[in-house]
Structure 1
Amino acid sequence: MFKVSAGLTGLLVGLAGCTGGGDGATAEGATRQGGTLRVVGSSDVEHLDPASVASVGAYGLARTFARTLFGTRASNDFQETIPVRPDVAARIPTRENGGVSKDRRTYTVGLRDGVRWNTSPPRQVTAQDFVRGFERLCNPASPSAGKGYFLSTLKGMDEFCRGFGSVDAKNAGAIAAYQRDHEIAGVRAKDDRTLVFKLKSPASDFLNLLSLPFTAAAPREYDRYVPDSAEFRQHTISDGPYQITEYKPGISYLLGHNPAWQAGGDPLRERHVAKIRITLGQDSPETVQQQLEQGTADLAWDQPVPTPAIPRLRDDPRFAIRETPNNSPYLVFNTRSPSNGGALGDRAVRQALEYAIDRSALIKIVGGPAVARPLHTVIPPGNSGYAEVNHYPTPGESGDAAKCRELLGKTGHSELTLKFPYRTNSVHKLIAQSIAENLDACGVETELTADSGGSFYSGTLGTPARAREGAWDIAAPGWVPDWYGNNGRSIIQPLFDGRTYGQNSTNYGGYDAPEVNALIDQALTAPDADHAAGYWQHADQKIMQDAAIVPLLDRAQTIFRSSRVHNALFLPTTAAYDYTRLWLSGD
C-alpha cells in the first residue's frame, strides 16, 4: 500500500517555516478577480497537443484548457492531492453504483452537464470526443508517451495502434480517416453522455489512467491538423477555464478566459485571473528569481529557486518546499548507441559507471539535504513498490573512481568518449558538469552539448533514430510519476517496458529485458495493489542489476511566488501551483 516516505517528510520538516506558499486571502478574506498572472522561464513545451504532452510544464498548461474524465485536486497537503476525483465524469464509478462490472473489466462512465467547447457556437463535450482522444494516443505523427498504459489495459488498443502505425504521419486527412474507419474495441460511446470501457483484465489503477492529461477529450476540429504540428498548435480548442489566445513558439503564451466555461460544471478548477502570460527564453534561474522577488513576475515556469538563495529565503512566506517524490534527475544510458563499439550495450560497462557518480555533490547543487537525498533505486520513496537497497554503494555517497576504473578495465572498453546533451534551464548544466567531472576521474571523456528550445526530450531523447545513430550516449532527464498512490506502473512501465520503445517513448535508452517485461505484465494483472507492489519491486531490482540507469536524487520542489499571488495550491504531478485556483492582489 502507498505510504508517504518518512524520509522525505523529514526533509520537509527540516526547513521549518518554509512550507508557506500563499494559502491565505487578504485581510478582508475576499478573493479578487482579474489581473494578469506573469509566468517566466526557459524552454517551450516539447508537445502542446494534449494527446502527446509529456512534461510537468505541459501537464500544468494542459490543465487550463483540456479536461479529462477524472483528475486530482491541488493542495499544499500532499495527501489531499492523491485521491482520484470526478472531472468531466459525473461521479466515480463503483461496483455498488453499477459503474464497474462484477468481474471488474467493464467501466461505465457518465458525463456531467455544463462542459462545453469554446467553439462558435459553444458545443457540449460528448462521449465521442473522449473516444477521439483515446484514438489520437497512438497517432503516427506525435504518439503519446503514455500509450503503453492503455496498450496493456484496454481491449483492442494494441490492434488499433498497430494499424495506425502504417498511416502517413504527414497527412491529416489520412490520420482522421483511420480514426473514423477504425475503432478501439475497449472504448465506446454508448450515447452522447456515456462511455463504456472494456479491459483485458482487472486494473486497480484504471481510474488513475483516466485522469492523465493525454486522455483529455478531443474536439472534431482536431481532425483537420497533423497532431502536434505547428498548425495544430495555433488552433487549440478549450473546454477548460482558459484558452490559448496567442502562441509564439519558443517565445510566449497568452491565455484568456474561455467564455464557454461554467464554474458549476468544473469541480477541480476555478478561474480568478483574467489572463495568464508565459514568457520563455530566460535560462538563468537567478534572473527569474530576481524578477519574482522584485514583483515584475509572479511564478517561475520551469526554474526552481536558485540554490544560493534558499538559506536567505527559509523564513520567507513566499518560499516553499513541496513534496514531489520523484527520480529527478537520473542518468540514462543509450543502450542502442553504436559509439565506442556499442559499449553501453554491455551491462558490465554500465555497472562500472554506476560507481562513478558523486551524489553528495549533486545534493549541494540542488539545495542541500533539506531539498534532496541520494537515490539508489528506480522507484523513489513514497511510491508503490519502493524498497531501500543500494546495489552500487560508494563511501559517503561521493563516488568511487578507483572501483569504476578497475571494473571498466575488465570490460575491454576502458577508453570511452560519451556524447552528453544537457538541458539549459535550471541547474541542469551544473549537474551535467558535475557528472562529467566524475566520469573524467573514472577515465571516461564526455562531450557536453547544450540542448535547449524544448528539443531535449522530443528531438533528442524521444527519437529512436537519434539513439540508433549515436547522437547521444548518456543524458540526465527527470521523471515525476504521472500519479501518486497506487502508482507502480507510472514509473516502471513508461521508462523500461522494451515493447513500447518507439517515437516519443520515455524508455529513452531503449532498454529491453524480457524478465522485466514479464514482471510488468504480472504486476498489471495482480489481484490487488499489494501484490502488484511486489512485482514492481522485483522489476526495480532487475533494472538496477542491469544498470539501465543511474538513479541520482529524490528531490523536492523549491518554489517561490510573488507577493501578489494568493491561494497558491500545489499539484505534485505538474511541479507547480495550479494556475486556475490562485488569484492576485494589486494589478
Structure 2
Amino acid sequence: MAGETFRVTAGLAGLALGLTACGGGKQPAGIPTGPPREGGTLRIIGSSDVEHLDTASGNSVGAYGLTRTFARPLFGTKASNDFDETVPLQPDMAAEIPTRENGGVSKDGRTYTVRLREGVRWNTRPPRPVTAGDFIRGFKRLCNPAAPSSGKGYYISTIKGMDDYCDGFGEVDAKSAEAIAAYQNEHDIEGLTAEDDHTLVFRLDRPASDFLNLLALQFTAAAPQEYDRYVPDSAEFRRNTVSDGPYQITEYRPSGSYVLSRNPVWRRDTDPLRGRYVDRIQITLGQDSPQVVQQQLEAGTADLAWDHPVPTSAIPRLRRARDPRFAIRDTPSNSPYVVFNTRSPSNGGALGEVRVRRALQYAVDRTALIKIVGGPEVAEPLHTVIPPGNSGYAPANPYPTAGEAGDPARCRRLLAEAGHPDGLELNFPYRTNSVHKLIAESLAANLKDCGVSTRLTPDAGGTFYGKTISSPDKAAQGAWDIAAPGWTPDWYGNNGRSIIQPLFDGRTYGPGSTNYGGYDDFQVNGLIDAALTAPDPSRAAGYWQMADKKIMEDAAIVPLLNRSHPIFHSSRVGGALFLPTTAGYDYTRIWLAGG
C-alpha cells in the first residue's frame, strides 16, 4: 500500500539508505535540458489496473501516483530525487501547517484547526470551490461498506467518534448508493466539524504526534457531492471521477487504459506541490512482460513504466553505460514479504500454529531473491517487520541461516516436531506483473526443499489484493495459505503507525484490511496503543520496536527484502522527480522534449 511523510531527524531517514541513485556521465542525444516545456502526451505502459481507483479505498503505490494527479488532500510531500527532501510535510489544500504557535494545534495536542487554501475548484459544470464540507465527506466515505478504506484504522484510532460512526456504517446496504449517501449525510463524526467553508476542526481522543501525516494520505482527499450518486469504487464511480488537481480522467477502459487531460479550472498558483506540463497522460495496460516494456522505453515508443521496475537482466548494462535515464531510487520497504493465512483451515489449520510458522522461516533463500530483483545494489536481506530508515527499526535476525541461503534441513526437522512430518500443501496466489512470478517460483522451490508443496496460482494485480488476500471469506475458505505482498510505508519519518498498525492490529481485521493473514495478538495490540499515545516520537519508536520483536517471535510473516526501486524513463522525459510512496516519478512534474 500500498501503503510516510514526517522527519524526526535526517539521520533516521538515512539509517539504511545506502542504496543510492545511479546515473550520471555524458548524456545521450535526446535527453531534454533547459526550462520545462508545455505540451505532448506522456505515454505510460504496464500490466495491471489499480485494485481501487476511489481515493477512499486506493491502497497501492500505483493508485497513489495516479490519484495524486486529480485528488488533493490537506497536506502532501514534495517530489524529489533527494530522498530527504521527500520526507517533510508540505501544505497542499491547507493554507499552512498548523502549529501551536499559529493557533492550529491546541495546547493539549487534541484539537487541530486547518484552514483551506482559497481558489481551488472542482472541474464540475459550473466549477465550484472545494470546501471544508468536501473534506468531511471524504472522511465519512472511509468506512463505507462497499469499498472500505484499508487505512480507516488510522482515523478510528485518532479522531473522536470515528469508531462509533464506522460501526454504524457497517449495517448499511453495500450495494445501494442511496443508502450509503443517506448514512453519510445523516450521521456526523463527533471529532470532525467545519466551522465555515474554509475551516476544518479535528478533535482527537488523545494526542497523536503523527496526526498531520495522516492528513497527508490520499485516503483523506476531498470528495465532491457528486460521489454520493455512486457506490464507492464501483464501475459507475470509476467512469465519473471529479478532479481538483491538474489533470482529469477523460477516458477509462477497465484493465485496458486511462487517458488523463488537463483540468481547465486548475490554477498553478493554488497548488504548491504539482505542476502541469504535458497535455495528456496515456496509460496503457495489459503488458505483463517487463522486458517488452523496457524495450519500448529505450526505443522511445513509451516514456514510463506503470508497474514494472527495470528488468533485472538490464540493470548491469545500464549501470555500465552510466545511462542517465536509469536510476535506483530509495524506497525503504518490506517488499516483498511472505504472509501466512492464520485463519486457513488447510492442513488442519497448520498455519495457525506458531511452531509451523517458525519452521517455515528457515525455508527462504534470500540470496536468490536478491538476484531476481537486481542484485545487492537494489535490495538487501530483511529480517524485521520494520525496514531500515523507518521509526522503530532495530537490526535483528531471529531466524538466521548461513549466507542467507536458507536451511531446508532445519525447516523439515521443525515441521516434524510441530506434528507435520509429511510436510504441507499450500495454496499460493501470486501477482502477475513485474518479477512477482519469479519470486513466487523461487519461494515455491525453497518450500519444496523442506517438504512443502505449493499450488501456484496467477492472480492479476487488480484482484490479488482487493479480492483475494484482503477478503476474510477467502481466508476462511483456505483459498490461499501464503502470499507475497509488499509494503511501502504510507509515509516516512515518524511512521511506526504506518507499518505495524495496518499490517498487524488484529482489531482491524475485516474486509479490505491489510492485516492479510488475520494475525491477532493482545500484546501487540497493546503495544500499538502505547505507541499511538506516546508523548513523543522517540518513545513511540521504542514501542514499535517491541511490537516488531513480538510479531517476529510469533512468525506472523517472513520478511524478505528491503528493496529500492530501479526505474527508467525515455529520452524525451524531463523533470523526472521521484515520490518514494508511489514508487514512481510525479506525473504532474514531467515535461517532454519537443512538447
List aligned pairs for 1:332-481, cutoff 5 A. 332-414=339-421, 415-452=423-460, 454-481=462-489
Distance of 1:90 and 1:5 partners within structure 2: 27
For the pair 1:548 / 2:530, whether they are aligned, the reply is: no
Contact 2:13 / 2:84 at 8 angstroms: preserved in 1?
no
Q: Which residue in 2 is equivalent to 1:300?
A: 305
Structure 1 residue aligned with 2:121, among 101, 113, 116? 116
List aligned pairs for 1:188-587, cutoff 5 A. 188-314=193-319, 315-414=322-421, 415-452=423-460, 454-586=462-594
User: C-alpha root-mean-square deviation of aligned residues, in Å?
Assistant: 1.6
Contact 2:425 / 2:455 at 8 angstroms: preserved in 1?
yes
CA shift for structure 1 position 8:
3.7
Q: Which residue in 2 is equivalent to 1:138?
A: 143
Distance of 2:47 and 2:18 partners within structure 1: 31
**Partner amino acid, structure 2, of 1:406:** R
Q: Which residue in 2 is equivalent to 1:55?
A: 60
Compared with structure 1, are the counterparts of its residues 4 and 529 closer, same or farther at alpha carbon in structure 2 (3 Å cutoff)? closer
**Partner amino acid, structure 2, of 1:69:** L
SS of structure 2 residue aligned to 1:385 = coil
SS of structure 2 residue aligned to 1:365 = helix
Distance of 1:555 and 1:328 partners within structure 2: 6
Distance of 1:487 and 1:4 partners within structure 2: 11
**Partner amino acid, structure 2, of 1:336:** R
- CA-to-partner distance for each residue in 1:332-365, whole Å, 9 max, x for gaps? 0000000000000000000000000000000000
Distance of 1:182 and 1:459 partners within structure 2: 29
Structure 2 residue aligned with 1:149, among 145, 151, 154? 154
CA shift for structure 1 position 586:
2.6
Contact 1:8 / 1:323 at 8 angstroms: preserved in 2?
no
Compared with structure 1, are the counterparts of its residues 124 and 16 closer, same or farther at alpha carbon in structure 2 (3 Å cutoff)? closer
CA shift for structure 1 position 114:
1.2
**Partner amino acid, structure 1, of 2:519:** Y
CA shift for structure 1 position 21:
13
331-340 or 445-454: which moved more?
Answer: 445-454
- Structure 2: any 5+ residue segments left out of the alignment? 1-7
Compared with structure 1, are the counterparts of its residues 19 and 374 closer, same or farther at alpha carbon in structure 2 (3 Å cutoff)? farther
Distance of 1:499 and 1:206 partners within structure 2: 20
Compared with structure 1, are the counterparts of its residues 196 and 547 closer, same or farther at alpha carbon in structure 2 (3 Å cutoff)? same
**Partner amino acid, structure 1, of 2:380:** R
**Partner amino acid, structure 2, of 1:384:** S
Distance of 1:4 and 1:384 partners within structure 2: 7
Distance of 2:303 and 2:341 partners within structure 1: 38
408-417 or 485-494: which moved more?
Answer: 408-417
SS of structure 2 residue aligned to 1:68 = coil
**Partner amino acid, structure 1, of 2:486:** G
Distance of 1:373 and 1:5 partners within structure 2: 17
Distance of 1:18 and 1:332 partners within structure 2: 42
Contact 2:133 / 2:197 at 8 angstroms: preserved in 1?
yes
Q: Which residue in 2 is equivalent to 1:38?
A: 43
Distance of 2:28 and 2:80 partners within structure 1: 11
Compared with structure 1, are the counterparts of its residues 18 and 385 closer, same or farther at alpha carbon in structure 2 (3 Å cutoff)? farther
**Partner amino acid, structure 2, of 1:43:** S
SS of structure 2 residue aligned to 1:580 = helix
Q: Which residue in 1 is equivalent to 2:5?
A: none
Compared with structure 1, are the counterparts of its residues 21 and 445 closer, same or farther at alpha carbon in structure 2 (3 Å cutoff)? farther
- CA-to-partner distance for each residue in 1:82-118, whole Å, 9 max, x for gaps? 0111001000100000010010100000001111000
CA shift for structure 1 position 12:
2.0
- CA-to-partner distance for each residue in 1:378-402, whole Å, 9 max, x for gaps? 0000000000000000000000000
User: With structure 1 as the length reference, what TM-score do the two structures score?
Assistant: 0.98
Q: Which residue in 2 is equivalent to 1:127?
A: 132
Distance of 1:299 and 1:472 partners within structure 2: 33
**Partner amino acid, structure 2, of 1:316:** D
CA shift for structure 1 position 30:
2.6
Q: Which residue in 2 is equivalent to 1:67?
A: 72
Contact 2:122 / 2:128 at 8 angstroms: preserved in 1?
yes
SS of structure 1 residue aligned to 2:56 = helix
CA shift for structure 1 position 321:
0.4
Contact 1:100 / 1:108 at 8 angstroms: preserved in 2?
yes
Distance of 1:574 and 1:435 partners within structure 2: 26
Contact 1:378 / 1:551 at 8 angstroms: preserved in 2?
yes
Contact 2:344 / 2:478 at 8 angstroms: preserved in 1?
yes
Distance of 1:116 and 1:282 partners within structure 2: 36
CA shift for structure 1 position 510:
0.4
CA shift for structure 1 position 413:
2.1
Contact 2:12 / 2:493 at 8 angstroms: preserved in 1?
no
**Partner amino acid, structure 2, of 1:216:** A
**Partner amino acid, structure 2, of 1:473:** D
**Partner amino acid, structure 2, of 1:560:** F
Contact 1:18 / 1:321 at 8 angstroms: preserved in 2?
no
CA shift for structure 1 position 452:
1.0
SS of structure 2 residue aligned to 1:448 = strand
Contact 2:53 / 2:238 at 8 angstroms: preserved in 1?
yes
Distance of 2:579 and 2:138 partners within structure 1: 23
**Partner amino acid, structure 1, of 2:325:** R
**Partner amino acid, structure 2, of 1:272:** Y
State the identity as a percent: 72
